[in-house]
Structure 1
Amino acid sequence: MRHGSIPGASGRVRPLTLLGAPVLHAPCAEVTDFGLDLGRLVEDMFATMYAAQGWGLAANQIGVGLRVFVYDCPDDEDVRHLGHVVNPRVVDLDGVTVRGPEGCLSLPGLEAATPRYDHAVVEGVTVKGDPVRVHGTGYFARCLQHESDHLDGGVYTDHVTGWRRRRVLRQVARARWS
């Protein structure tokens, strides 16, 4: 990604991987090659996320089992957060747990109240290998946790319990894409 360029402008939209695909349910591999292919992947991820009108996207959501996610997400004060993290790891989760609406591009059309911490910190590197530390509060903290979960082979429905979980799993079973 060139400095000053619009993320995704040079990327191509890739097909989304839907719930049930093995790549969504397996931990992703660490990125070890920081060459042009990684830059193209990030550009494609931004293009795909914007085309699908999402707030974030993990690489395995387009079938690539690497530890990379992108985001363009507001926090609760409507401050925009835009970026990407390669080889992210959650280093801090705290604050109150908030049950809020959560959806996923890999489960199109579905949503469930999902408990998440209202503060999250993720560390990793950029496509050039430079260290990055991302702090999120409110909705953006939810986004950071959601995308990090994907890279560990999880989806938001793994956090939903009780009647909410039964309801969303019934919806998954009835979905046209499942």
Structure 2
Amino acid sequence: MQLPILAYGHDILRKQCDEIDPSYPGLDKLIDNMWETMYGANGCGLAAPQVNVPVRLFVVDSKSTHDRMDEVIREDHFVREDTGIVETFINANILDESDDAWIDEEGCLSIPALTERVKRPWSITIEYFNRQFEKQTKTFYGTTARMIQHEYDHTEGVLYLDYLKPLTRKLLHGKLEKIAKGQIKAKYPMQFVK
């Protein structure tokens, strides 16, 4: 089932989310619905707080991006052995990040019609549980690492806007207000601030 995505301005998007365990009610259904919602919105990642569930859960598909990307551009965004992932992350914790950073365009399903250039570490090492609640510790690079960091931030109550310079944020204020009020629509179900 495709769930409505919370628009910028909802308090839950600024909440540090709670960890869950395998007995969390309706977990499998929630994960299925999150994948359906993400793909229905033509996204590459989605975090549970974006669908009004404040838990440490997110899904990422960097494989679709990898497969669609021009080969020359791909070399700058993916390391050779990375062909992208389709993964569920539960109770994730970033253990380490590289000193090397890079800037690339980011958008967010909760902030439709806006993209900005964001600086992030090139690689991260992250500990998490997969959908089967098997513990994983992996290192990711480039675009895959960026997508994971973006969704991980949602579980921390952080938006990509927080990485922008104050002047840039100030210039975006009017557009963000319009998004919060539902004056800028998306092509997928959204829940706006009342």
Instruction: Name the TM-score, length of structure 2 as normaliser.
Output: 0.79
Q: Kindly provide the amino acid, as one letter, of the partner of residue 52 in structure 1.
A: A
The RMSD of aligned alpha carbons is 1.8
Partner SS for 2:26: helix
Q: Deviations over 1:72-118 (max 9, x none)?
A: 01462372211111100111111422121110000011111111111
User: 2:146 matched to 1:157?
Assistant: no
Selected match of 2:57 from 56, 68, 73: 68
**Aligned mates of 1:113, 1:34 — CA distance in 2:** 39
Selected match of 1:29 from 3, 10, 18: 18
Report the alpha carbon displacement of residue 16 of structure 1 after superposing the two structures with TM.
0.3
Q: Kindly provide the amino acid, as one letter, of the partner of residue 47 in structure 2.
A: A
Pair 1:28–1:109, CA change in 2 (3 A): same
The match for 2:37 is: 48
User: 2:21 matched to 1:17?
Assistant: no
**Number of matched residues?**
167
Q: Kindly provide the amino acid, as one letter, of the partner of residue 68 in structure 1.
A: L
The match for 2:122 is: 118
**Aligned mates of 1:164, 1:23 — CA distance in 2:** 23
Sequence identity percentage: 28
Q: Does the aligned pair in 2 maintain the 1:157–1:168 contact within 8 Å?
A: no
Q: Does the aligned pair in 2 maintain the 1:122–1:144 contact within 8 Å?
A: no
Which structure 2 residue ranges, 5 or more long, are not aligned? 67-76, 185-191
Q: Deviations over 1:101-154 (max 9, x none)?
A: 110000011111111111112211123321122422111111111111100111
Report the alpha carbon displacement of residue 162 of structure 1 after superposing the two structures with TM.
4.0
User: 2:43 matched to 1:39?
Assistant: no
Higher fraction of helix? 2
The match for 1:79 is: 83
Partner SS for 2:20: coil
Larger relative contact order, structure 1 or 2 (CA cutoff 8 Å, min sep 6): 2
The match for 1:136 is: 140
**Aligned mates of 1:46, 1:134 — CA distance in 2:** 22
Pair 1:121–1:169, CA change in 2 (3 A): farther
**Aligned mates of 2:42, 2:172 — CA distance in 1:** 21
